[in-house]
């Protein structure tokens, strides 16, 4: 997809901050910004019939991606999709149970199960995702950049092995420790699939990509490096570095990954996402010259009063301090029970309070 087929970018604050270049204020977006906390999203999802039907409907996926931009002064849009599209395309039978989350009809547990998996061909198996990316870019009309994304290989593997969400990842960890060769084979297929998937999103119009390592923090210290980080590094190295004359930034986000920031920064990623358990001032001192930092309010803060939300925003901005390289975000996705007005209060506070850090 040629850049000339899309409107020129009118707001590139987010892209500049990712490269740690000067900006007029701290750019902002939030994970899961198109989601159940918005009544307009719930209405569109009801119209779609099911969550995956919404993901697969280009027009409706575009519609929900745009909804938060109509409410808030965001500096980025993020593709509306799900991290489990890759295992779904592998034929594992993804489905969702109300109140229980994602499940797979055919979990991957044996060596034979793993040997039967093939690297996903995005053009063949996930064209509905790239169709949505292109449609959203056209609909944005240069308003803000578009983020594409994928789950990390380890995070995808946990769902594929457990067959659902898990509290302790017992089956996945049993494979990791007792049959590491099987786990490495599975992660290798997933890493190559993610490379194909994200590169297809970039070619379709995604200007930034984020890798969501939601469950990396559940691993032990050496296991994280061997079974999660090395595969994310392989992905970063395999991605398109520049498209249509612009660098394509990569954001790595490991929930619970604060102890590995230096190693994450060495992967070649452009930015690291921080959850709320990591002090952003300490993170900047550790890795700030190498990468931008994204984060990191506790999503539960949005359940507090607008006044308290403003205080927490002020604290976060002050902790990062002067200069560029900070993208304001939550430390994980916004939760369904949040009042949209409280998200609005957060964004208003960032817009009002952050210019002082960008003289």
Q: Compute CA distances 159 → 47, 83, 177, 299, whole Å.
A: 28, 10, 17, 23
Cis peptide before 152 (omega within 30 of 0): no
**Catalytic residue selected from 20, 25, 45, 137:** 45
Tell me the C-alpha distance between 311 and 177, whole Å.
44
Residue with tokens 């099987």: 182
Q: Which residues have C-beta within 8 Å of that of residue 341, sequence separation ≥ 6?
A: 306
Structure tokens at 205: 């119009």
Residue 192 among the catalytic residues = no
C-beta separation of 45 from 55 below 8 A: no
Residue 36 among the catalytic residues = yes
Residue 82 among the catalytic residues = yes
C-beta separation of 13 from 23 below 8 A: yes
**Catalytic residue selected from 42, 71, 82, 113:** 82
Residue 224, marked binder? no
Residue 35, marked binder? yes
Residue 159, marked binder? yes
**Catalytic residue selected from 37, 41, 88, 159:** 159
Residue 182, marked binder? no
Residue with tokens 């938060």: 68
Residue 137 among the catalytic residues = no
Tell me the C-alpha distance between 353 and 338, whole Å.
22
Residue 356, marked binder? no
Residue 32 among the catalytic residues = yes
* Dihedral sign from CA coordinates of 320, 325, 328, 332: negative
Residue 214, marked binder? yes
What does residue 273 show for φ and ψ, rounded to 5 degrees? -85, 140
Residue 21, marked binder? no
**Catalytic residue selected from 32, 56, 137, 284:** 32
Residue with tokens 């009801």: 46
Catalytic residues: 32, 36, 45, 82, 159
Q: Report the binding-site residues for substrate.
A: 32-36, 82, 159, 214, 332
């Amino acid at each position: 997809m040629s850049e000339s087929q899309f409107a020129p970018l009118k707001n590139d604050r987010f892209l500049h901050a990712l490269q740690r270049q000067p900006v007029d204020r701290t750019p902002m977006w939030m994970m899961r910004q198109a989601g159940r906390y918005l009544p307009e999203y719930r209405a569109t999802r009801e119209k779609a019939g099911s969550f995956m039907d919404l993901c697969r409907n280009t027009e409706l996926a575009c519609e929900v991606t745009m909804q938060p931009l109509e409410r808030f002064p965001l500096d980025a849009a993020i593709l509306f999709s799900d991290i489990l599209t890759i295992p779904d395309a592998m034929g594992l039978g993804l489905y969702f149970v109300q109140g229980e989350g994602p499940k797979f009809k055919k979990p991957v547990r044996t060596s034979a199960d793993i040997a039967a998996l093939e690297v996903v061909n995005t053009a063949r198996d996930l064209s509905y995702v790239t169709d949505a990316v292109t449609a959203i870019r056209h609909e944005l009309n240069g308003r803000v950049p578009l983020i594409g994304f994928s789950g990390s290989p380890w995070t995808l593997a946990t769902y594929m092995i457990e067959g659902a969400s898990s509290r302790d990842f017992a089956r996945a960890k049993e494979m990791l420790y007792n049959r590491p060769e099987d786990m490495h084979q599975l992660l290798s297929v997933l890493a190559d699939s993610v490379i194909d998937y994200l590169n297809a999103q970039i070619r379709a119009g995604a200007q930034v990509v984020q890798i969501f390592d939601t469950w990396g923090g559940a691993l032990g210290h050496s296991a994280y490096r061997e079974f999660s980080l090395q595969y994310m590094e392989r992905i970063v190295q395999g991605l398109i570095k520049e498209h249509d004359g612009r660098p394509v930034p990569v954001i790595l986000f490991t929930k619970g990954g604060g102890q590995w920031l230096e190693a994450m920064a060495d992967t070649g990623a452009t930015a690291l996402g921080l959850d709320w358990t990591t002090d952003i001032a300490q993170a900047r001192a550790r890795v700030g010259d190498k990468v931008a930092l994204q984060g990191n309010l506790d999503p539960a803060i949005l359940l507090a009063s607008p006044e308290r939300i403003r205080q927490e925003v002020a604290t976060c901005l002050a902790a990062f301090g002067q200069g560029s390289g900070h993208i304001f975000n939550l430390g994980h996705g916004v939760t369904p029970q949040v009042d949209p007005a409280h998200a609005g209060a957060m964004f208003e506070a960032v817009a009002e309070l952050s210019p002082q850090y960008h003289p």
